[in-house]
């Protein structure tokens, strides 16, 4: 994707956090130069591979999985995003824009065939979304009906070969302008995206302020 240096996120832990928070992604592949996309929930295993491994499943009737072999897939995770009005800046000449955070992950998909491995991966997916509460549901595999259902899906994993993180959060603006955007977002709180974007911008601004202080100390 188009990725200006000032929007690039190189901290893999931040990228992982976005994937885990916004784990419903878009799997994009191609067949005969035609793009194919499926919207799927993903589990990120941070400890497998240098950039982690993604796990998911799709309907067996979906033809996309039949074209996985030897091809690089793109998985898109959309984080917080929101409109930014030019009236929110302290400076005079500005235009409307859109702030957002997004991750692109790349890798080759591997279809999982072994029954034990399939059930383990499906258990991971269920556990991620059910959580650890007292009423959390888990698959009762002793009931043969659930085992039969696995025949209707294809479970797969993608060892990530490359990660791109893009945070377009007004980094090209002055601190005063960034603060103006944050203040308006904090006042609006109209959606979870707005709240999350305000928090992301606050975190970035504090980081920049800290780095500036460290640079000033070094130059004394």
| Tens of pLDDT, residues 68-99 | 987 899 999 999 999 999 999 999 999 999 99
pLDDT of residue 210: 46
pLDDT of residue 216: 52
What is the tens place of the pLDDT at every residue in 127-145? 999 998 899 999 999 999 9
pLDDT of residue 215: 47
pLDDT of residue 196: 94
Taking residues 188-214, report their average pLDDT: 77
Domains and CATH numbers, the chain: 5-171 (2.30.110.10)
Is 70 exceeded by the pLDDT of residue 220?
Answer: no
How many angstroms separate the CA atoms of 74 and 108, rounded?
Answer: 9
Q: Which residue's structure tokens are 């911008």?
A: 201
Which of 36, 158, 147 lies closest to 105 in space, CA to CA? 158
């Amino acid at each position: 994707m188009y990725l200006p240096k000032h929007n690039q996120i190189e901290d893999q832990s931040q990228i992982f956090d976005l994937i885990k928070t916004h784990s419903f992604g878009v799997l994009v592949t191609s067949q005969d130069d035609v793009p194919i996309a499926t919207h799927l929930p993903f589990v990120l295993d941070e400890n497998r591979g240098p950039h982690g491994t993604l796990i998911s499943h799709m309907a067996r009737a979906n033809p996309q999985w039949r074209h996985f072999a030897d091809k690089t897939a793109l998985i898109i995770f959309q984080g917080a995003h929101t409109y930014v009005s030019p009236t929110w800046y302290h400076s005079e000449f500005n235009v409307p824009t859109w702030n957002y955070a997004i991750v692109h992950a790349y890798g080759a998909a591997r279809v999982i065939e072994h029954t034990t491995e399939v059930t383990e991966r499906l258990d991971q997916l269920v556990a991620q979304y059910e959580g650890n509460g007292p009423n959390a549901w888990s698959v009762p595999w002793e009931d043969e009906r659930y085992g039969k259902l696995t025949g209707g899906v294809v479970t797969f994993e993608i060892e990530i070969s490359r990660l791109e993180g893009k945070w377009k959060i007004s980094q090209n603006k002055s601190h005063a302008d960034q603060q103006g955007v944050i203040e308006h977002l904090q006042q609006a709180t109209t959606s979870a995206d707005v709240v999350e974007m305000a928090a992301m911008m606050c975190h970035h601004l504090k980081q920049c302020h800290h780095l500036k202080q460290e640079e000033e100390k070094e130059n004394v």
